[in-house]
Each structure stands twice: as C-alpha cells, then as structure tokens.
Amino acid sequence: MGVFVFLPLVLPLTALPVARLAEIHLHPRIATRLLSALAGVLALCSTLCLGLLVVVGTAQLPGNPLPDAWSDPEVREAVPYDEIAGKAAIVALTVVTVGCAAAAGRHRRVRRRAHRALAGLPDGELAVLADEAPYAYALPGSTPARLPGARMRARIRTRTRARARARIHGWGSRGQGRVVVSTAMLDCLDTRERAALVAHERAHLSGHHHRYLLAVRLAARANPLLRPLRAAVAYTAERWADEEAARVTGERTVVARAIGKAALVSRGTPTPTLAGLAAPGPVPRRVAALLEPAPSAVNWPSMSLAVGLAVWTAAAGTLGSALSSANATVTLFLVLKAATPL
C-alpha cells in the first residue's frame, strides 16, 4: 500500500486551479457538471482511503475492525501497521461520517418543512406565500409515501388526473418541484422581472441543481480541501440558471436587473443546498456576465490556455486519486487473502 493510501487525501489540491478558472471560462452548465463530478470522485476516494487507514492502522490493536475470520495472529502480522495513522484515521472518518450525515439530514428536514408549509396552497408550479420577508427559491419535488392495495391505485388515478389538468393549464406537477416566492419579493419586481425570476427558478428545477449543490457540500465535508469546489459550483449553478432565464425571456438586461434587485432585499434560501435567484455569492459577477454576450457551450479550452491546463491537471489528479485508492484496496485485499489460513 505504502504512499498510495495517503495520496487521495491530498490529491484534491489538483482540482483547485480549475475552480476559479472554470467559473470564468467554461459554460456554466459544463462547469457545474465537471466540478461536481471532480468533487464527488475525489471525496469518495479520500473517504475510502481513510477506511483503509483505519484497518491497517488498528489491525494489531484490541477491538480492531477486522472480521472474526481474519483474527488469526499470522493475518494480523501480515497486515501493514501504523498505529498513529490508524488512530488519526478513526477520528477523521468519524468526523466525515457525522458531518455528511448532518448535512444530508438538514437538507432533508428543510425540504420536508418547506413541503409542509405549502400543503394548503393550490397545486401548481408557482407557490406564492404571503410573507413580509422577500425570498424566492426552487423546491425540488417529493416522492409520495407508498400506500397499500386499492388506496395506492386510487391515489395514482387521482394524481394522474391532477397532472393532466396541470399540463393543460401549463403547470408542472408537484413531484417535479415548485417555485416558492414570497409576496414581498414579488412586490420588489415589475412584470418582466417576475417572469425572469420564475424562469430562473424553473431552470434550477429542470437542471436538478439541488443535487449538484448537495453533492459538492457532502464532498467538502468529506475532504476540506474540496471547499473551493463547493463555492465554485454554487456560483456556476446560479450562472447556469441565469443563462437559461435569459434564453427563455430573451432579455438579458431584465434578468440582470431582477438579480440585482433581489440580492438587495433577499434573505437567501432556507439551506445552501437549495438554489434561489438571490443566493449568496458574487452577485456583481453574475450581473456583469449577463450584460455581456451569452457564453458558448461548444468551445472546449485548448491546452495552451490556463483553463485548459487546469482542467487536464484536475482530470489527472482525479485519475491518480482513483488509481491510488484502487491500488491500496487491491493490495490490502491480496495481503489478507494470502495470509488468511484455509
């Protein structure tokens, strides 16, 4: 195993150069997907290697995590041993597990509370709440609870008819998510700006941006070196929705004006894993980008450019992390397999 088990813990540093450059030079949709994939793979590899360090670092300690079938003294002696690294890995893996569980739990609780708050409102894609606090955000759809037998069939028929009526009226189904906006936010915007707001939030729903935001947030909890990617994806997801709203409305300056107004009065979204028009971040950069021509979604940066070099560096680091973690895993497996008595 050797140094390979430690490499995935530090190789996320190779993804940092691409974070800021991707925000500026890549199309927001490409940047969001690329950075989210990098963060997910790097976080998974680093977490796997923490688990391997727990095994190899505590193999000869009482209460070690090896299965009972591997309890033979010869097996324990064959497993690489580093007590300091093993104990540190136990603490780190515990922190990672608790942090990821807390982030995922908060995301789920906020979504449930938001859906309960909308329970009394009419069905439809747009949910307007009478509230003096200005806010607007995209609330992903929820999966209905399973019901037994005839009740389930009746529920499905009712929902099917409701969805058909919703399509006739131009609405989306609740299972596909809703745009939540307060009356205070609507009062701050004119008619065209309201249309831009709704188009922006629809882009968040159709692009499933909450999944990218949650993925990079969990990745940052798994490895603190990935925090810059979390901030970058939060920005590129908003830029992605900005560009979609500008494409749908055909008025880039109106979208920019709506973002600026909303940012001045909005209190943000209930949780960072939900996207909104005035989500915290570099709003002036978003406005400035909308005042320029739409970015190209087909041009891939050349290796001669800084962003192209950064992308390939991040790709190489991600591949190296995956290979290092795979090498450490296979090595440990072969050691245990060779040393395990028949």
Residue 144: pLDDT band with limits 50, 70, 90: very low
Which of 161, 176, 191 is the last residue before a domain boundary?
Answer: 176
Give the pLDDT score at 341.
54
In terms of domains, do 93 and 163 share one?
Answer: no
Instruction: Identify the burial level of 202 via C-beta atoms within 10 angstroms of its C-beta, where 0-12 means exposed, 13-18 middle and 19 or more buried.
Output: buried
300: pLDDT strictly greater than 80 = no
**Rounded percentage of the chain residues whose pLDDT exceeds 90:** 21
Q: Average of pLDDT values for 233-250?
A: 92
Burial letters 126-150, b for 16+ CB under 10 A, else e: bbbeeeeebbbbbbbeeeeeeeeee
302 shares its domain with 320 = yes
Question: Cα–chain-centroid distance for residue 197?
Answer: 22
Q: What band does 319 get if pLDDT is binned at 50, 70 and 90?
A: confident
Q: Are residues 297 and 151 in the same domain?
A: no
The pLDDT of 153-167, averaged and rounded, is: 45
Confidence (pLDDT) at 101:
94
Q: What band does 304 get if pLDDT is binned at 50, 70 and 90?
A: low
Name the domain boundary from 176, 201, 219.
176
Specify the residue for token string 């990672």: 96
User: What is the per-residue pLDDT for 59?
Assistant: 66
Place of tokens 């033979």: 72
The residue among 13 and 304 whose pLDDT is bigger is 13
What pLDDT score was predicted for residue 325? 76
Distances (CA, A) of 111 to 116, 123, 263, 268: 9, 17, 23, 15
Query: What number is the average pLDDT over the span 33-45?
Result: 89
Q: Does residue 40 share a domain with residue 87?
A: yes
30 and 9 in a single domain? The answer is: yes
Mean pLDDT within 272-299 = 78
Domain containing 154 equals: 143-176
Dump pLDDT digits (tens) for 113-127: 888 888 777 777 888
* pLDDT tens sequence across 82-135: 667 777 888 899 999 999 999 999 988 888 888 888 877 777 788 888 888 888
Do 194 and 302 sit in the same domain of this protein? yes
**167 shares a domain with 295:** no
Q: What is the mean pLDDT of residues 65-93?
A: 68
Mark whether 10 and 115 lie in a shared domain.
yes
- The number of folded domains in the chain is 2
Print burial letters for 68-88: b (CB count within 10 Å at least 16), e (below 16). eebeeeebbebbbebeebbee
> Could you give the C-alpha distances from 310 to 15, 16, 176, 302, in angstroms and in order?
8, 8, 36, 10
The per-residue pLDDT for 115 is 84
Q: Which of 6, 11, 39 is nearest to 226 (CA)?
A: 39
Q: Are residues 93 and 128 in the same domain?
A: yes
51 shares its domain with 181: yes
- Same domain assignment for residues 203 and 272: yes
Q: pLDDT: is 154 or 242 the higher one?
A: 242
Whether residues 163 and 308 share a domain: the answer is no
